[in-house]
Structure 1
Amino acid sequence: MSAHDDFAESLMQEASACPSGLTTWNGSDPSQRFAVYRNNVIVSLIDALADTFPVTQALVGEEFFRAMAGQFVRAHPPRSPVLTLYGDLFPSYVCDFVPASALPYLGDLARLEVAYIQTYHAAEEGSLAISELSKLLSNETTLSQVRFTLHPSINVVRSRYAVVSLWAAHQDLSPENTLGSIHLDVSEAAMLIRQDLDVVVVRIEHGAAEFIENLHRGAVFADAVSTDVPFNLETTLALLLRYGAITHYNI
């Protein structure tokens, strides 16, 4: 293990000893200063997660969230210096976090919040002209073999629970006014796409979500529409056209 690896490991483990080789200007024990530095790093990572997962934090409370996030950051330190994107593994961690097991929807809610950040920071891309798309959509023979490329900012989230409604309720200044009317056991899906500098979160059918995922994976149109759950294809295509979600195609 290199000196760098040793330092990084000691930084993330609360019970670890001070890394060897550290010195202070006045010859005092460096362990106390290292402990302060370690605490600052952990706190900054927890703060970064709190910024990414505000609704997740609101649902469990700040104290619970920070305790859970503190355990996560020690187990999963950043893999990139870009803290804005830190936390992509957090939803899976939440799903397996035993103290949160009473809230089975929490992991999917966190996945929605990760998707929101990824959508916001995705690359920009021009949309295909509606006139060109209209020609394709009107020719069933050609359309069946078309592969569409979707906008880089598109993300799809599917859940067994009403996480889209939960998230939407917390975008209001008084979420308590609508939270009581949400049926948590109703499964929901959403498409996320960036429009200018705003992220749009649209509740969609589960079959529509699967269709969009199929397109994103590069399936030809005829295969993409073969979903496990029926959906309204016309409405879904209109949605994709409305938000300029299709950027390219090939046959």
Structure 2
Amino acid sequence: MSARHDFAQALLDPELPCPAGLVAWNGSDPARRFQVYRNNVLVALVDALADSFTVTRELVGEAFFRAMAAAHARQHPPRSPVLACYGADFPGFIASFPPAAGLPYLADVARLEYLRVVACHAADVAPLSQATLAARLADAGSLPGLCFGLQPSLAVLPSRFAVVSLWAAHHGVGDLAAVLPDAAETALVLRPGLEVEVIGIPPASGVFIEALQSGRPLGQAADEAMALEAGFDLAATLGLLLQKSAVTALHPALHPSGSIS
């Protein structure tokens, strides 16, 4: 292993000794200085997670969160110098973290919070103009074969738990005491302007939007949604996407041969 690898390993493992060969510019003990540096790095990683996962932190309390975040940081160091995006592995870590087993909804709340981080830093893509949308959607015959491009910030999170209500209550919307954590909810996350929004949507709407994201045409996406819920409201779901400027492209589906349908 390289000296760089040894240094990185020792930096996040308090059981490992100070890497060999380190010297301090002023002649002080390098092991003591390395321990200070090690502590500072861990605190910085924990602070970065605390900034991104505020509701997760509130749900478990400061001391529990910081201990859990430190355990995560030691197992999953950042792969980028941009700490604002650190934490992609944190929800999965929480799901397998034994001390958090009593809060089965905690991992999905963290997933929702990380989707907000991703949405915040997603690329800006201009939505289709209202005139273009109106013209394309007015042709009823071509609608089923239309494929949609959606904003890079958009994501859907179906959950067995009340993730939207829990997140909203911790931001002053609704009464936390009235939230039933085991009530399944589906979240739509997107950034229609400068602010990231979290919107509760019906499960069938989530299936429809995810199908559009995967490149399936409108007709097929609607069929998948109606297979889940016969009363799926296509007009309302499309209306929400248009209202939030989520549609960036419309084009006919391609046949496997490459021809346009």
TM-score normalised per structure 1: 0.95
Give the structure 2 partner of residue 214 of structure 1: 211
Give the structure 2 partner of residue 127 of structure 1: 127
Q: Does 1:89 align with 2:86?
A: no
Give the structure 1 partner of residue 247 of structure 2: 246
| Paired amino acid for 2:228 | V
Q: How far off its partner does 1:200 sit?
A: 1.4
Give the structure 1 partner of residue 100 of structure 2: 100
Q: CA RMSD in A?
A: 1.3
Provide the aligned length of Structure 1 versus Structure 2.
248
Give the structure 2 partner of residue 138 of structure 1: 138
Give the structure 1 partner of residue 179 of structure 2: 182
Give the structure 1 partner of residue 228 of structure 2: 229
Q: Does 1:3 align with 2:8?
A: no
* Mapping 1:145-224, distance limit 5 Å: 145-172=145-172, 178-224=175-221
Query: What secondary structure sits across from 1:81 in the alignment?
Result: coil
Taking structure 1 as reference, are residues 19 and 138 closer, same or farther at Cα in structure 2, changes over 3 Å only?
same
Give the structure 1 partner of residue 259 of structure 2: none
Q: How far off its partner does 1:25 sit?
A: 2.9
Query: What secondary structure sits across from 1:49 in the alignment?
Result: helix
Assess if the C-alpha contact under 8 Å between 2:189 and 2:199 holds in 1: yes
Give CA-to-partner distance per residue, 1:180-230, whole Å, 9 cap, x none. Answer: 111111100111111321111111011111111111111111221223422
* More deviation, 188-197/52-61: 188-197
Give the structure 1 partner of residue 64 of structure 2: 64
Task: Return the alpha-carbon distance in structure 2 between the equivalents of residues 187 and 136 of structure 1.
Answer: 35
Q: How far off its partner does 1:158 sit?
A: 1.2
Task: Return the alpha-carbon distance in structure 2 between the equivalents of residues 215 and 101 of structure 1.
Answer: 34
Assess if the C-alpha contact under 8 Å between 2:192 and 2:246 holds in 1: no
Query: What secondary structure sits across from 2:228 in the alignment?
Result: coil
| Paired amino acid for 1:147 | C
Assess if the C-alpha contact under 8 Å between 2:147 and 2:251 holds in 1: yes
Task: Return the alpha-carbon distance in structure 2 between the equivalents of residues 235 and 195 of structure 1.
Answer: 17
Give CA-to-partner distance per residue, 1:85-110, whole Å, 9 cap, x none. Answer: 00011001001111000100000000
TM-score normalised per structure 2: 0.91
Query: What secondary structure sits across from 1:141 in the alignment?
Result: coil
Q: How far off its partner does 1:135 sit?
A: 3.0
- Percent of aligned positions that are identical: 47
* More deviation, 32-41/123-132: 123-132
Task: Return the alpha-carbon distance in structure 1 between the equivalents of residues 108 and 5 of structure 2.
Answer: 33
Structure 1 consecutive aligned stretches of length 4 or more whose deviation exceeds 4 Å: none
Task: Return the alpha-carbon distance in structure 2 between the equivalents of residues 201 and 217 of structure 1.
Answer: 21
| Paired amino acid for 2:56 | T
Query: What secondary structure sits across from 2:206 in the alignment?
Result: helix
Give CA-to-partner distance per residue, 1:60-111, whole Å, 9 cap, x none. Answer: 0000000000000000000000000000110010011110001000000000
Task: Return the alpha-carbon distance in structure 1 between the equivalents of residues 121 and 74 of structure 2.
Answer: 25
Give the structure 1 partner of residue 22 of structure 2: 22
| Paired amino acid for 1:229 | L
Task: Return the alpha-carbon distance in structure 1 between the equivalents of residues 26 and 130 of structure 2.
Answer: 70
Task: Return the alpha-carbon distance in structure 1 between the equivalents of residues 28 and 123 of structure 2.
Answer: 49
Q: How far off its partner does 1:26 sit?
A: 4.2
| Paired amino acid for 1:12 | L
* More deviation, 62-71/198-207: 198-207
Unaligned 5+ residue runs, structure 2? 253-261
Unaligned 5+ residue runs, structure 1? none
| Paired amino acid for 1:46 | V
